[in-house]
Amino acid sequence: MTQGDGRAVRVVLVDDDARFGELVSSVVADDDIDVVTVHHRAAGAVDVVIREAPDVVVLDVVLPDGDGLEVVDALRSAGSTVPVVLFSSLFDRRVAGTAAALGLRYVEKADGVDALVEAVRAAAGAVEPTDR
């Protein structure tokens, strides 16, 4: 999966589970997704996103010091329009409804990495490479 210009999709992953972040980073690399940074807390997440300027942010809903929706609010307040995929181990109808109302994609971790890759692809407007 690449951008229309042939480059990998750059992703910032915000998830409190370091091992999960490493796993996602290694698995999605095969799909031409470059996880440029894994951040583990709500605090500082906006600064990381602004600094790294990713194509997509993958954001856990539950973080040790806040929640993903708060981070989305802070991103939008900072002027960032980066597409966000909420990725959570818990399905929450309220969060799913809010995500839909905000135009965000919402993927349950139980749906697997393939579902995450599909959501990242859709969020980035990426295309499948033709030379595979």
What is the model's pLDDT at position 51?
Answer: 97
The Cα–Cα gap between 65 and 80 comes to 21
- CATH architecture classification, 9-124: 3-Layer(aba) Sandwich (3.40)
What is the model's pLDDT at position 90?
Answer: 80
* HSE value, Cβ hemisphere, 13 Å, CA-based, for 118: 9
What is the model's pLDDT at position 59?
Answer: 95
The model carries a pTM of: 0.88
Give Cβ neighbours of residue 124 (< 8 Å, ≥ 6 apart).
Answer: 1, 3, 9, 55, 56, 83
What is the model's pLDDT at position 78?
Answer: 96
What is the model's pLDDT at position 14?
Answer: 96
- Tell me which residue of 125, 80, 119, 128 sits closest to 100, measured CA to CA: 119
Mean pLDDT by 10 residues, the chain (132 residues): 70 91 83 90 96 96 93 96 92 87 91 92 70 34
The Cα–Cα gap between 21 and 35 comes to 9
Q: Where are the domains of the chain?
A: 9-124
What is the model's pLDDT at position 26?
Answer: 86
What is the model's pLDDT at position 128?
Answer: 53
- DSSP secondary structure string for all residues of 18-45: HHHHHHHHHHHGGGTEEEEEEE-SSTTH
What is the model's pLDDT at position 126?
Answer: 60
What is the model's pLDDT at position 48?
Answer: 97
DSSP 7: P
Residue spans of alpha helices (H) in the chain: 18-28, 45-52, 68-77, 93-101, 113-124
